[in-house]
């Protein structure tokens, strides 16, 4: 009897013994990291929709002797259900598409070029990652953080994880880096904007433009984009197709229920499951390595270079147009929507209280959304051409 009680107590204490053993240290550190994610989400409002589920998944996966990511574990089931096959990022994209209004872009089509310049960080970061000795597939995954677009990063990196070309624990690191930096865009961008532009440039007023776009153009726009993507970069069609499907539902104006479901239920459930499953991959033994720190550093670099790329095009445009373009608008050519556009508006108003750049910046910002997905699609098409996927 006493032996049975002793055995039972020993079993109950197995978790505590594991924690105080050297093997438990990485898991303890990860639990600390999950607490930091909770703090950032709750106290600092840093991407709470993602960081709370990711943090909780991370907590569950790192508790002693946890089996949530074992073959039948519930996080593993979620992972297999929607991460392994890239379904959840795509469903989130349907939601993003249904929440996005492309009117400012259609009223100012040239603003989409800022969406191209704002992807410079992806390609320069790729070069740096390769120079640091990253394998090609991991370098592409890290560079995709420059898309400023969480689902794109998860989609691209998981594609490689599914092929066994990168470790699945890196998907978690990449996702956390992407979402963290997206949330930090209001801190990262303004100093670069002020550093790269003169006060005169920042004070530039852009001639006002009508924001009126024919309704039928807004309906046909998603179709044009997917056909173009399908022709040029078919490997990225799931990404672009999902975002444009959501937008098509919204703009058609005849499926309000589906639009609302995409914006709310589908996006919310997918976000929760995606976050938990990604958090579940963050096992301390695989997550804590120098490469993870390098991923975070390169991710930051990608977003900084994106901003620089957009501002550079803005400055060139300013010169070529004889001072009719405010270079700040270029900083909105990233996918962080509508955050980047709001930052441009705020920075413009700081220099000139009469300077309202919001609608122009919204055009560049929605261009950035398309640009980031297009850049990822083109990268995937090139990789397919090289036989790497």
- Residue 166 CB, shortest distance to other proteins, in Å, is 15
CB of 346 to other proteins, least distance (A): 26
Count, residues in the chain:
389
Query: What span, in angstroms and rounded, lies between the C-alpha atoms of 172 and 278?
Result: 5
CB 141 within 8 A of CB 157: yes
Select the residue interacting with other proteins from 51, 60, 90, 106 (CB under 8 A): 106
Q: Residue 142's closest CA among 373, 368, 299?
A: 299
Residue of 37, 19, 38, 17 whose CA lies nearest to 27: 19
Count of chain residues binding other proteins (CB under 8 A): 45
Q: Binding to other proteins by residue 136, rule CB under 8 A?
A: yes
SS3 45: coil
Write the burial class of residue 46 (CB in 10 Å: 0-12 exposed, 13-18 middle, 19+ buried): middle
According to the binding rule CB under 8 A, does residue 243 interact with other proteins? no
Residue 109 found at the interface with other proteins (CB under 8 A): yes
Q: Least distance from C-beta 130 to other proteins, angstroms?
A: 4
Distance between CA atoms of residues 95 and 212, nearest Å: 25
Q: How many CB atoms lie within 10 A of CB 80?
A: 12
The C-alpha atoms of residue 319 and residue 333 are separated, in whole angstroms, by 18
Rounded Cα distance between 45 and 48, Å, is 6
Select the residue interacting with other proteins from 6, 65, 232, 320 (CB under 8 A).
232
Choose the binding region for other proteins from 64-72, 108-116, 182-190, 347-355 (rule: CB under 8 A): 108-116
Q: Closer to other proteins at the Cβ: 131 or 254?
A: 131
Among 31, 60, 196, 233, binds other proteins (CB under 8 A): 233
- The pattern of x and - marking residues 185 through 224 that bind other proteins according to CB under 8 A reads ----------------------------xxxxx--xx--x
Which residues of this protein are in contact with other proteins, per CB under 8 A? 105-107, 109-110, 112-113, 115-117, 119-120, 122-124, 126-127, 130-131, 136, 139-140, 213-217, 220-221, 224-225, 228-229, 232-233, 367, 370-371, 374-375, 378-379, 381-382, 386
């Amino acid at each position: 009897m006493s032996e049975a009680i002793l055995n039972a107590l020993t079993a109950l204490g197995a978790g505590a013994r594991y924690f105080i053993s050297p093997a438990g240290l990485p898991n303890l550190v990860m639990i600390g990291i999950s607490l930091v994610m909770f703090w950032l989400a709750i106290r600092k409002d840093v991407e709470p929709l993602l960081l709370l589920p990711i943090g909780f998944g991370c907590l569950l996966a790192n508790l002693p002797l946890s089996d949530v990511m074992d073959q039948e574990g519930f996080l593993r089931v979620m992972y297999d259900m929607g991460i392994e096959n890239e379904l959840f990022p795509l469903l989130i994209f349907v939601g993003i598409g249904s929440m996005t209004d492309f009117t400012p872009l259609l009223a100012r089509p040239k603003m989409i070029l800022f969406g191209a310049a704002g992807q410079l960080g992806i390609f320069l970061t790729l070069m740096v990652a390769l120079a640091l000795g990253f394998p090609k597939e991991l370098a592409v995954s890290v560079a995709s953080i420059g898309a400023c677009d969480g689902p794109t990063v998860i989609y691209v990196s998981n594609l490689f994880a599914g092929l066994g070309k990168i470790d699945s624990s890196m998907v978690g690191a990449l996702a956390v880096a992407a979402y963290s930096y997206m949330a930090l865009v209001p801190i990262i961008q303004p100093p670069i904007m002020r550093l790269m532009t003169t006060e005169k440039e920042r004070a530039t007023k852009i001639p006002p433009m009508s924001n009126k776009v024919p309704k039928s153009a807004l309906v046909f726009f998603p179709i044009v984009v997917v056909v173009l993507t399908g022709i040029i970069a078919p490997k990225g069609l799931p990404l672009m197709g999902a975002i444009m499907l959501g937008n098509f539902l919204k703009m058609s104006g005849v499926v309000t229920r589906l639009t609302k479901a995409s914006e709310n239920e589908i996006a919310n459930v997918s976000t929760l499951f995606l976050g938990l499953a990604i958090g579940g991959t963050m096992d301390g033994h695989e997550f804590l390595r120098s490469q993870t720190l390098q991923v975070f550093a390169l991710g930051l670099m990608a977003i900084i270079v994106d901003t620089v790329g957009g501002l550079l095009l803005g400055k060139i445009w300013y010169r070529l147009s004889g001072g009719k373009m405010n270079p700040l608008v270029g900083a909105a050519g990233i996918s962080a929507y509508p955050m980047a556009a709001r930052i441009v508006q705020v920075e413009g108003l700081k220099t000139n209280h009469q300077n309202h750049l919001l609608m122009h910046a919204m055009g560049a910002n929605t261009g950035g959304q398309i640009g980031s997905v297009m850049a990822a699609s083109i990268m995937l098409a090139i990789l397919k051409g090289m036989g790497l996927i």
